[in-house]
Structure 1
Amino acid sequence: VRGIALGEGDKVISLAILRHVDTTSDERSAYLKMRRAVAGEAAADEAPADAEAEETSGSFQLPQERYVEMSAQEQVVLTVTGNGYGKRTSSYEYRTTGRGGEGIVAMSVNHRNGNLVASFPVEEADQIMLVTDKGQLIRCPVEGIRIA
């Protein structure tokens, strides 16, 4: 079975299976917005623009019960680059694509970041161990890696 078509020079670097959570794109967007607000990540100067956008777009309001349910089912994906950069991302940030989908950009591949070397689900209490090409071992708690 062939799952994806790879471009010239591309290769699969890792594979992980995430639990499927039946949500709409509106629910995912509303959940992520609520989670950022709860975490205090929404800047004060963004509030009026967001409120204005909600009025014009008829923004979806996520019920509190659904927020709690989605929070319990949320998985976080850690993406690491060859130059040692990493970020955690909610699985709700990644849309489900069907056959012929274009894929999803997990992280910028550039001179500073380097190529992606790993991407896998993690828990808040996990610790990761990375090994450099010269054999240096780095142990890092997942909670210390930024969520983007």
Structure 2
Amino acid sequence: GKGVTGMTTREEDFVEDLFITNTHAYMLFFTDKGKVYSVRVFEIPEGSRISKGKAIVNIIQMSPNEKITAAISIKSFEEEKESFLLMCTKQGLVKKTALEEYTDIRKSGIIGIKLNPGDTLIDVKHTDGKSEVVIATRKGMAIRFKETDIRPMGRATHGVRGIRLAKDDEVIGMEAVNSKDILLTATENGFGKRTEISKYRLQARGGKGVKNIKTTERNGLVVGIKKANPGDELMLITIRGMTIRLAVDDILVKGRNVQGVRLVRLEEQDKLSGVAHIVKEENENNNKE
């Protein structure tokens, strides 16, 4: 199907990600410059499905040259103080820092990770410190390694090498996984595939990885990866603001280095810009009982 409009976008704007949380949680917003800002969810204005929303700059004091690249929902810093924030940059660096180092964030934000010249922060995950990590690149490579390969570091520090990139390649996504998970990879032309994590051999951090998906003319380059286990639902997002809700059970599990299948039929000149995981709400689950 072609989906429905997930929100109305302004000129030169596009929908990049979707998040489902609750009003009592904290949202940590990370920017491409490596800074992090904190806000309570109830401070974010509620809107309808197709409303334009409110600019983040009106909610947090971010600089005009910053762009939100990741957001994390924290239910309680006290309850989750033993957890970690795992970060990944476009140039393939990763960093793991204890969540408790981010409890006191001033309105103007604080440094979440120090970046090398030309690098940007592209993804952040909230973990228990014992997961496995999968990093995927735009040209179809991916690496899987243990999170314990990354030693905990302070907040205002650089990361360590997560994946060694080929020339002109860059990281487009990271997932914290376990060996039983299934990974969905989506490409810009609306194609993708699901592959068991076990098909990606466990390697040491910092290697070149293995081929994840064929980036042919039909597929285009990779735009995102997400865990896609049985019963999960994902939202595909295009640069024109279109969305389609996708039951992952409808997508056959394939091998690793394949072309995949069509996930969504795109209109002319439209491209996929990302993929988001949908968390089922409690009342939705209760209605099924």
- Report the secondary structure of 2:165's partner residue: coil
Deviation at 1:4, TM superposition (A): 2.2
2:77 paired residue number: none
Aligned with residue 75 of structure 1, among 176, 181, 187: 181
Q: Does 1:6 align with 2:165?
A: yes
Aligned mates of 2:184, 2:198 — CA distance in 1: 13
Task: Report the RMSD for the aligned CA atoms in angstroms.
Answer: 1.6
Structure 1 or 2: more strand by fraction = 2
Aligned mates of 2:240, 2:206 — CA distance in 1: 40
Deviation at 1:101, TM superposition (A): 3.4
Deviation at 1:140, TM superposition (A): 1.1
| 1:127 maps to amino acid | E
| 1:91 maps to amino acid | I
Deviation at 1:100, TM superposition (A): 5.9
Larger RCO: Structure 1 or Structure 2 (Cα < 8 Å, ≥ 6 residues apart)?
A: 1
1:17 paired residue number: 176
User: Can you give the 5+ residue segments of structure 2 that lack an aligned partner in the other structure?
Assistant: 1-159, 255-289
Aligned mates of 2:222, 2:167 — CA distance in 1: 16
Q: Does 1:144 align with 2:241?
A: no
Aligned residue runs from structure 1 range 50-61, under 5 A: none
Q: Does 1:111 align with 2:270?
A: no
CA offset digits 1:21-54 (Å, max 9, x no partner): 5xxxxxxxxxxxxxxxxxxxxxxxxxxxxxxxxx
Question: Which has the higher mean CA deviation after the structures are superposed, 4-13 or 79-88?
Answer: 4-13
Structure 1 residue runs of 4 or more that deviate by more than 4 Å after TM superposition: none
Number of aligned residue pairs: give it: 95
Aligned mates of 1:87, 1:78 — CA distance in 2: 6
Deviation at 1:16, TM superposition (A): 0.9
CA contact (8 A) 2:173 2:224 kept: yes
| 2:201 maps to amino acid | R
Aligned with residue 96 of structure 1, among 187, 190, 202: 202
Deviation at 1:17, TM superposition (A): 1.6
- Report the secondary structure of 1:123's partner residue: coil
CA offset digits 1:47-103 (Å, max 9, x no partner): xxxxxxxxxxxxxxxxxxxxxxxxxxx110111111111111011111011256331
Aligned mates of 1:104, 1:80 — CA distance in 2: 17
| 2:169 maps to amino acid | D
2:92 paired residue number: none
Question: Which has the higher mean CA deviation after the structures are superposed, 122-131 or 76-85?
Answer: 122-131
TM-score by length of 2: 0.31
Question: Percent of pairs identical after alignment?
Answer: 38
TM-score by length of 1: 0.59
Structure 1 or 2: more helix by fraction = 1
